[in-house]
Amino acid sequence: MSFRPDHELHKRRFGRNMGVGLVLVAFVAIVFGLTVVKVTNGDFGRAAAEVQG
């Protein structure tokens, strides 16, 4: 079984799709990094304590 050859559209939009892909990867890394920072700093614990009063 072979892969279908790329449609002309895929070739034409390769740069664009690659750019969007990299932005999404960067976004995931940012959310992950923020989560790590907030958890290790105890921000979520403080917020939960505030909610509980």
Partner 1 sequence: MSDTTSVHLGTTEAQFGDYLALLKPRVMALVVFTAFVGLLAAPVAVHPFVGMVSVLFIAVGGGASGALNMWWDADIDRVMKRTRNRPIPAGLVAPEEAKALGFALSGFSVVMLGLAANWFAAGFLAFTIFFYVAIYTMWLKRSTPQNIVIGGAAGAFPPMIGWAVATGGVSVEGLLMFALIFMWTPPHFWALALFMGDDYDNADVPMLTVTHGRRATRVYILVYTVILALIAIGAGFSAIGGVIYLVTALLLNIWFVIGAVKIWRRSEADSAADQFLVERKFFKLSLFYLFALFVAILIEAGLDRFGIEGLL
What residue ranges bind partner 1 (CB under 8 A)?
9, 12-13, 15-16, 18-20, 30, 33-34, 37, 41
Distances (CA, A) of 43 to 5, 28, 36, 38, 52: 50, 20, 10, 5, 14
Task: State which residue, 2 or 50, has the beta carbon closest to partner 1.
Answer: 50
Task: State which residue, 15 or 53, has the beta carbon closest to partner 1.
Answer: 15
Closest CB 49 distance from partner 1, rounded Å: 17
